[in-house]
Structure 1
Amino acid sequence: MERRKFIGALSLTGVFGLFNPNEVLSVTKTNNNTNAQSKNDREYWYKLLYKIASPVVSNLANGTLIKNMPVVTAPKFDSRTPAVSYLEAVGRTYAGIAPWLSLPDDTTTEGILRNKLKLQAIQGLDSCFAANSPDKLNFTKDYQPIVDSAYLAQTFLRAPKALWEPLKPETKREIIASFKSLRNRKPFKNNWLLFGSITEAFLLSIGEPHDESRLNEGVDTLNAWYKGDGWYGDGVNMAFDYYNSFVIHPMMVDTLAVMLDKKLIKKERYDLAVKRMQRYVVGQERMISPEGTYPPIGRSITYRTGAFQALSQIALMHKLPATIQPAQVRSALTKVKQNIYGTPGTFDAKGWLQLGFCGHDPEIADYYTSTGSLYMATLSFLPLGLPATDEFWAAPAAEWTSKKAWAAKPFSKDYHVDF
């Protein structure tokens, strides 16, 4: 069915009116029936993701993102133009919703909500890349577009059929040209190198000429900075923060997957990157306390649950280590999300994310942080790309490692690894 007809049909039934993003989380949080709890967990996740993503996606579809998105910057914001915040919001939100929007269409309540968001997401990209669009995104000024073009590229790698193929030919041409325009700026010598790599990997994946040096520099340099036990350095030194999850492991693995598909690397190299990511997420899962909290360490804690992108992606890939059951990841992350997003002040009155960690606290925002930056939070929702019948969602709730350990229950021991 054509997008316009589909939207019209749904509008006539009043279905879209049922989904007010600010009222969408009326899901029971506790239930003694484990099967019902599993179902409630998924319902809580997808309604929460819709609540977070909808202001960005719906405004982009309506051509009102720049008009309506509040751009609030950190108190000590640097010299970059605040206008970079719009591309930040789009790239990061789309990268987080991409797996969910890739599921087949269906007529369930979830399916209807997902279809609505998908159609708006496509319409939004077609709209903002059109000539004279009021939501024209900035790719040409400052260095920040290198970052968020990478998340948009990762979006298309995660959801090629849902979010790339349906775009208008002219939209695709504009996106390709925008990505290539970044080549006049070199990424900084840290995790940013992977932004250049994954953007070139996407171009490679669709048969466009790619910059071989830019493609290889990120994966080669970060590989040289590997410190052991699942941790890459962010530069020559290791940074004890969440950038191994925000950027490094997911973009390393996704870039190498394209290079493997195009026979530019051997499978052993890709497999090693996955093994390192698996080792890293063992630590991530263990850092979630019995209460569903985690340490607010390092830079960019305003990205909230985006800190668990690596754990979420490994679950999506069906590659969790043997010591971690999918249901314990679901249960742990559900509790984390309830703690973070149930705190007053996380959202403003119109549903936009606000600067802070647990609640509203602009003072903890870093000098590069603005409203759009916060939508990195969506990257912890990647397992919604698994169907409801998958073990991740269908298995009964399970205790995670720290919850078992602090209840004096048996739990797996942990050891350093050498790869």
Structure 2
Amino acid sequence: MAPMAGLAGALLPGKMFASDITGTTVNNTAAPVTADRQYQVSLLQRIAAPVVTNMSKGTLRKNMPLEKGPGYGLAAEKVTYLEAFGRCISGMAPWLALPDDATTEGKLRKQLRAQVLEGIVNGVNPSSADYLNFRVESQPLVDAAYLCQAFMRAPQALWHPLDNTTKANVVKELKALRKIRPAYNNWLLFAGMVEAFLLSVGEEWEPLRTMVATKKMQEWYAGDGFYSDGAEFSFDYYNGYVIHPMLTDMLKVLTDKQQAPKADYEQAVKRMQRYAFLQERMIAPDGTYPAIGRSMTYRTAAFQPLVQLALEHRLPEGINPAQVRCAMTAVMKRIFDMEGTFDKQGWLQLGICGHQPEVADVYTSTGSLYICTNGFLALGLPSEDPFWSDPAAEWTSQKVWSGKPVKKDYHVNY
């Protein structure tokens, strides 16, 4: 295995490939269509490498900085490391699941996949310096769900290669989470995701937790693609960070295992498609988007439904894959090319665009930020997929604000 330091030095955004990595914009339709993928791969590497490299070596606790939001109220040293690792690999998983090849990207992917697997072993090994906490505080329920989501998104790459001892350790830690009482909001989905994963790998599971999560989310559907996060509606991005992706992923397992009606899954997908349709329209011509609500430091994770539907070839009618690719690349450039988004050692810092610790919530620490990899799910599509290979396309707001024809929008009732 080649030293990661060598690859990391060669594969920072702008240096990964010989070609110039410039974003595709409305005036750049002649640019190589590979530029967007090259940029996103190198950026994902930049974000993820500090976490997975250290986790594979048992040095995450030692080397990861610990920045906290104002008024932070959790025991950060007990929760932030599972946050960093579980969230980070949940977004990487579809890309890591692609087959090996001899390309520069393929070699990088193979190396990072190996490090993720080593990190999983360390994370559930009580003898490891990076043994992750699944048992103290409530927050581990959240981030164990993201770990489960990684396994569910890439079972052949991330679950099946694990040795039997590690698998047993994972299952033991996940079952220990049952003593945690989830909050009466999106947290019900975290409990449901853990049980859905256990079901998916043939382990004993608790149907009540998946049933409650499903029924409450159905009751909390507010209309027009939005779920309320609990009894009261909040206008924020939790439909993107958690609700749509985890509800559909959980229901997919339940449906495949004949533990839920397929109609529930299909309804959830339709609602997710409506939400994603609106998300695409929220991306401004310059790649900015409304900075609204809590957890804005989660950055590109806000657009998880949009890119997950692209990954699954289920984008809403009227949205073509290339416009999503171009829009998301523009969003990434606005966020991650801003000075201060990363510190001098390459770790993410609190903020939306740059270093803005004042916008962080009372539950946000350095580890929380790595949920942003969930904006990179479309990298799980091979490079020849139309998402990556089609010519550049304008997204809706570019058309609107340059006076070009667009279809009108109207609310939906499902």
Q: TM-score range by the shorter chain?
A: over 0.9
Q: State the 1:30 CA deviation.
A: 5.1
The answer to whether the Cα contact below 8 Å between 2:122 and 2:128 also exists between their aligned partners in 1 is: yes
Cα RMSD between the aligned structures? 1.5
CA deviations on 1:130-153 (whole Å, 9 max, x unpaired) are 231000101111100010000000
Query: In the alignment, what sits opposite 2:186?
Result: 191
User: Which has the larger displacement, 31-40 or 98-107?
Assistant: 31-40
Q: State the 1:128 CA deviation.
A: 2.5
SS in 2 for 1:346: coil
SS in 1 for 2:127: coil
Query: In the alignment, what sits opposite 1:123?
Result: 118
Query: In the alignment, what sits opposite 1:17?
Result: 6
SS in 2 for 1:57: helix
Counterparts of 1:165-314 in structure 2 under 5 Å?
Answer: 165-314=160-309
SS in 2 for 1:77: coil
- The alignment covers a number of residue pairs equal to 408
SS in 1 for 2:32: helix
Query: In the alignment, what sits opposite 2:344?
Result: 349
The answer to whether the Cα contact below 8 Å between 2:23 and 2:329 also exists between their aligned partners in 1 is: no
Q: State the 1:35 CA deviation.
A: 6.6
CA deviations on 1:369-408 (whole Å, 9 max, x unpaired) are 0000000110000000000000100000100000000000
CA deviations on 1:281-337 (whole Å, 9 max, x unpaired) are 011000000111000100000011111111110111100012101000000010010
Distance 1:134 1:81 in 2: 16
Distance 2:351 2:312 in 1: 30
Query: In the alignment, what sits opposite 1:139?
Result: 134
For residue 204 of structure 2, what is the amino acid of its counterpart? P
Q: State the 1:19 CA deviation.
A: 3.2
Q: State the 1:79 CA deviation.
A: 4.0
SS in 2 for 1:83: helix
For residue 91 of structure 2, what is the amino acid of its counterpart? G
For residue 8 of structure 2, what is the amino acid of its counterpart? F
Q: State the 1:53 CA deviation.
A: 0.4
For residue 195 of structure 1, what is the amino acid of its counterpart? F
User: Which has the larger displacement, 202-211 or 263-272?
Assistant: 263-272
Distance 2:185 2:211 in 1: 14
1:149 partnered with 2:144:
yes
Distance 2:409 2:10 in 1: 41
SS in 1 for 2:222: strand
User: Which has the larger displacement, 212-221 or 311-320?
Assistant: 212-221
Q: State the 1:361 CA deviation.
A: 1.1
Query: In the alignment, what sits opposite 1:162?
Result: 157
Distance 1:55 1:144 in 2: 22
Query: In the alignment, what sits opposite 1:395?
Result: 390
Question: Which of 42, 65, 68 pairs up with 1:70?
Answer: 65
Q: State the 1:126 CA deviation.
A: 1.2
Question: Which of 329, 335, 341 pairs up with 1:334?
Answer: 329
- The structure-2 alpha-carbon separation of the partners of 1:21 and 1:269, relative to structure 1 and needing over 3 Å to count, comes to farther
1:367 partnered with 2:356:
no
Q: State the 1:71 CA deviation.
A: 1.2
For residue 25 of structure 1, what is the amino acid of its counterpart? G
SS in 1 for 2:35: helix
The answer to whether the Cα contact below 8 Å between 2:8 and 2:46 also exists between their aligned partners in 1 is: no
- The structure-2 alpha-carbon separation of the partners of 1:388 and 1:95, relative to structure 1 and needing over 3 Å to count, comes to same
1:28 partnered with 2:21:
yes
The answer to whether the Cα contact below 8 Å between 2:195 and 2:210 also exists between their aligned partners in 1 is: yes
The answer to whether the Cα contact below 8 Å between 2:225 and 2:272 also exists between their aligned partners in 1 is: yes
CA deviations on 1:81-136 (whole Å, 9 max, x unpaired) are 43200000011001010000000000001101111100110111112322310001
The answer to whether the Cα contact below 8 Å between 1:73 and 1:82 also exists between their aligned partners in 2 is: no
Distance 2:273 2:329 in 1: 20
Distance 1:216 1:38 in 2: 44
- The structure-2 alpha-carbon separation of the partners of 1:21 and 1:189, relative to structure 1 and needing over 3 Å to count, comes to farther
Q: State the 1:34 CA deviation.
A: 4.2
SS in 2 for 1:43: helix
Query: In the alignment, what sits opposite 2:407?
Result: 412
TM-score scaled to structure 2, two decimals?
A: 0.96
Distance 1:199 1:384 in 2: 25
Q: State the 1:28 CA deviation.
A: 2.4
Distance 2:138 2:340 in 1: 30
Q: State the 1:417 CA deviation.
A: 0.5
The answer to whether the Cα contact below 8 Å between 2:225 and 2:275 also exists between their aligned partners in 1 is: yes
Distance 1:227 1:99 in 2: 30
Question: Structure 2 unaligned runs (5+)?
Answer: none
Determine what percentage of the aligned residue pairs are the same residue.
53
SS in 2 for 1:378: helix
- The structure-2 alpha-carbon separation of the partners of 1:409 and 1:270, relative to structure 1 and needing over 3 Å to count, comes to same
The answer to whether the Cα contact below 8 Å between 1:65 and 1:135 also exists between their aligned partners in 2 is: yes
- The structure-2 alpha-carbon separation of the partners of 1:30 and 1:243, relative to structure 1 and needing over 3 Å to count, comes to closer
SS in 1 for 2:89: helix
For residue 55 of structure 2, what is the amino acid of its counterpart? L
Query: In the alignment, what sits opposite 1:82?
Result: 77
Question: Structure 1 unaligned runs (5+)?
Answer: 1-6
Distance 1:269 1:23 in 2: 42
- The structure-2 alpha-carbon separation of the partners of 1:30 and 1:53, relative to structure 1 and needing over 3 Å to count, comes to closer
SS in 2 for 1:227: strand
Question: Which of 68, 88, 92 pairs up with 1:93?
Answer: 88
